[in-house]
Copies of this chain bind each other. A is one copy, B any other.
Amino acid sequence: MPRQDSRSFSTRRYPCERCPLRPLPAFRPFTGEELDYVSRFKKGELAVERGATVLVEGSNSAHLYTVLSGWGFRFKLLSDGRRQILNYAMPGDLIGLQGSVMGEMQHSVEALSPMLLCVFERGELHDLYRKHPGLAYDITWLAAREERMLDENLLSIGRRSALERCAYLLAFIRKRAEDVGLTGNGSVVIPITQQHVADTLGLSLVHTNKTIRKLSARGLLRWRDGGCEVLDAAGLMALAHWEGLGEERRPLV
Binding site for B on A (CB under 8 A): 74, 76, 78-80, 82-84, 86, 97-98, 101-104, 106-107, 125-126, 129-130, 133-134, 136-137, 139-141, 143-148, 150-155, 157-160, 199-202, 241, 246, 248
Contact = CB atoms under 8 A, between A and B. Distances in A.
A54 to B, nearest CB: 16
A151 B101 contact: no
Contact of A133 (B86, B129, B144, B152): B129
Contact of A126 (B102, B107, B133): B133
Given A79-B241, A133-B133, A157 B160 contact: no
Number of this chain's copies in the complex: 2
A154 B101 contact: no
A163 to B, nearest CB: 14
Q: Is the interface of A mostly helix, strand, loop or mixed?
A: helix
A155 B101 contact: no
A105 to B, nearest CB: 10
Contacts of A155: 76, 78, 84, 86
